[in-house]
Amino acid sequence: MEEGDAHVAGLLYDRLLPTVDRTIVRVLGRREAEHEDLVQSAFEQIVMTLSRRRFGRTCSLDAWASTLASRVAFNVLRSRTRERRVVDHKADLDDATRTRAGGRDVEREAGTRRQLDRVRLHLSQMSELRATTLFLHDGLGYDLAEIAVLTGASLAAAQSRLVRGRRELQQRMGEDIPAQEDER
Amino acid sequence: MRREAQESKALRKLATGVVEVESQGELARRRERLVPKLAMAIDRASRLEARRRQIRRVATVVALAAAVVLIVGMGWSAWRSGSAPRESELAAMRVESTDGSVIVTHDGREAPAMSRALSKDDAITTAEGARAVVRLASGTSLWIGPSTQLSLGGTTGARDEVTLSAGYVEATVPKLGAEASFEVVTPDTRVRVHGTRFSVRVQKSGDGIKTDVRVSEGVVSVLHGGGVAMLHASASWSSEDAIAERRDTEDRDSPEMTGEGVRLTAEDGGAVNDGGEGPRPVTAGGTPAEPAAIASTHSSLAEENAAFQRAMQAARAGQDERSLALLNEFLARYPRSPLAQNARVERFRTLARLGRSDAASREARRYMAEHPGGFASDEARDVVMPPASGGTGGR
């Protein structure tokens, strides 16, 4: 039994690790010290949902894995937001160093990075379902029907979450611009 | 709009950004660490799922059992409700069968009675040689003999009452509830029953009429002349005999016979009977007593004495069953008699002799409740709680 489990675990890991790993890194922005714990947590959720037959085979296993991984990652972001350390200060310091050393390209890269961090920050402050729906649709490119299945909601509910999520993110990003100008 | 596109673009960039590839060594080391943990998670999940499946199976079995019980219950209920129309059908009063000329009078109109429904206040008349069977709302079956006049007045709720003006009726009464009763009312008698088989006949006797009651099963109480007679199975009763017996008793207990309290002659200044109806008792003060008052003050006590003596005689002769029946009759007729306490004592004694310990115990308890500190309290207590045998002492 244990051997069987190990075999299945190996197959599952090899099959889904790229999806899980990528999703977590993209949501969080980098591979962090606790990355391995997050991967393990995502895999445990995948196993649990598979054993409870919540994965209904109406969507791809990759989509299912990326949904669960993104939820794990967004939960981490959310908890960090509560602790007010969503933007890694060390990373900011690195960006500043690179900017001084590398000129315009590096500066642009740092700006993009800051923008993505702001998106992550705002997503982490939104409701989990809105953020996940928005990320799955606008980020990973899943269609609404698939997202409805992935999040266990009706198509109308998924659409409503997407629309409200976009509006909320836009509003939050809009409120950021004056603050940025003040900083300059 | 442009802003919205920017956010979408940012999200797309977030989701599709280049992810740095880890070194093969790092990937292999991570795999070594995570796969065993994943295997444990699979094992844990499969155990958990197996347990959940087991719980689900048990729940399914329980639910199925509950469903079966429910279905059986509903079926039984449906069967019961299905049989309800039959009961209500039976409950409707109707003539079940006739033999010969049987007429039902309904609202003053007469009609043949063949298999017709009856209603309250209908009257049934059988011709000479004719017979009919009628079923009442309570399920009581009446076999109506020839030359009979019977009316169904007063059939209300749990109380069935039929009035027998003349003729013969035999009643088979099902076991009735505590509040239910069936009564046959004749011109001079009321026969009340709570579930038995008996017959009542009303016929002419000289200038008047008489009522005869015969009990086949169960117990019937007969109310006549202000008294109550309890008739058991195989017993019969006649109003003619009851009247004659009462007259005998009155004669025995009359002042002339006993010389107690009353005088009869005019020489003593008392009232004299007139009208040639025989001597009428008068009080010691010379005032003629009303017949009802006489019955309650004089003849009843003598009757009570005689009835109690009969019960005692039967007991002395070793006829405990008869003694018990006579005591029952006595207590039914004279519940407030001065001898009632003695009768109750004799009743629990008789029941104890007959080996009916439960009934004896009940009767003894009743005696103690009705006569606290009565002369046989200790004896009654012993019947309720027999003393421990063997003399071990103490409780």
Taking the CA of residue B44 and the nearest CA in chain A, the distance in Å comes to 9
Nearest CA in chain B to A173: B7
Nearest to B19 among A25, A40, A116 (CB): A25
Residue A152 lies in a domain: no
Q: Residue B269 — very low, low, confident or very high, per pLDDT cuts 50/70/90?
A: very low
pLDDT of residue B121: 80
Residue B63 has pLDDT above 90, yes or no: yes
CATH number at A3 reads 1.10.1740
Residue B325 to residue B344: CA distance in whole angstroms: 12
Q: Residue A173 — very low, low, confident or very high, per pLDDT cuts 50/70/90?
A: confident
Residue A178 has pLDDT above 60, yes or no: no
pLDDT of residue B297: 40
Q: What is the mean pLDDT of chain B?
A: 75
What's the pLDDT tens digit per position in B6-62?
A: 777 788 877 777 777 888 888 889 888 889 888 888 888 888 888 888 898 999 999
Angle at B19 between CA A176 and CA A11, to 5 degrees: 130
Q: Do B39 and A112 touch (CB under 8 A)?
A: no
Nearest to A138 among B12, B30, B49 (CB): B12
Residue A169 lies in a domain: no
Taking the CA of residue B66 and the nearest CA in chain A, the distance in Å comes to 27
Nearest CA in chain A to B6: A170
Domain that holds residue A42: 1-85
Residues of chain A with C-beta less than 8 angstroms from the C-beta of B18: none
Residue A55 to residue A131: CA distance in whole angstroms: 21
The segment with the largest mean pLDDT, out of B144-148, B159-163, B244-248, is: B144-148
Asked if B34 reaches chain A (Cβ–Cβ under 8 Å), the answer is: yes
**ipTM entry:** 0.72
Nearest to B31 among A2, A5, A13 (CB): A13
Tokens 């075999």 locate to A7
The residue ranges of DSSP E strands in chain B, in sequence order, are 94-99, 102-106, 109-112, 123-126, 131-135, 141-144, 149-151, 159-172, 181-185, 190-193, 197-205, 208-217, 220-224, 227-231, 236-238
Q: What is the mean pLDDT of chain A?
A: 78
Number of domains in chain A: 1
Residue A10 vs residue B374, higher pLDDT: A10
> Nearest Cα to A118, choosing from A158, A176, A62, A171?
A176
Asked if B274 reaches chain A (Cβ–Cβ under 8 Å), the answer is: no
Q: Do A26 and B11 touch (CB under 8 A)?
A: no
With contact defined as beta carbons under 8 Å apart, do B333 and B225 qualify? no
CATH architecture assigned to B290-395:
Alpha Horseshoe (1.25)
Q: Which residues have CB under 8 Å from B131's CB, separation 6+?
A: B98, B99, B100, B102, B143, B144, B145, B146
pLDDT of residue A57: 61
Angle at B246 between CA B240 and CA B249, to 5 degrees: 145
What's the pLDDT tens digit per position in B106-150?
A: 888 888 776 677 877 888 889 888 888 888 877 788 889 888 989
pLDDT of residue B250: 64
CATH topology of domain B91-238: Jelly Rolls (2.60.120)
The residue ranges of DSSP E strands in B225-346, in sequence order, are 227-231, 236-238
> Nearest Cα to B168, choosing from B194, B146, B190?
B146
With contact defined as beta carbons under 8 Å apart, do B239 and B211 qualify? yes
What's the pLDDT tens digit per position in A54-68?
A: 666 667 888 888 888
Tokens 């169960």 locate to B218
Please tell me if the domain spanning B91-238 has the same topology as the one spanning B290-395: no
Q: Do A36 and B30 touch (CB under 8 A)?
A: yes
Q: Do A9 and B13 touch (CB under 8 A)?
A: no
With contact defined as beta carbons under 8 Å apart, do B169 and B150 qualify? yes
Residue A58 lies in a domain: yes
Residue B100 to residue B148: CA distance in whole angstroms: 12
Q: Do B13 and A116 touch (CB under 8 A)?
A: yes
Q: Which residues have CB under 8 Å from B66's CB, separation 6+?
A: none
Mean pLDDT of B212-227: 78
pLDDT of residue B241: 81
Residue A31 lies in a domain: yes
Chain A residues with CB within 8 Å of chain B CB: 1-2, 5-6, 8-10, 12-14, 17, 21-22, 25-27, 31, 36, 39-40, 43-44, 47-48, 50-52, 112, 115-116, 119-120, 134-135, 138-141, 166, 169-170, 173-174
Residues of chain A with C-beta less than 8 angstroms from the C-beta of B30: 36, 39
Asked if B8 reaches chain A (Cβ–Cβ under 8 Å), the answer is: yes
Mean pLDDT of B216-227: 75
Residue B389 vs residue A170, higher pLDDT: A170
Domain regions of chain B by residue span: 91-238, 290-395
Residue A53 lies in a domain: yes
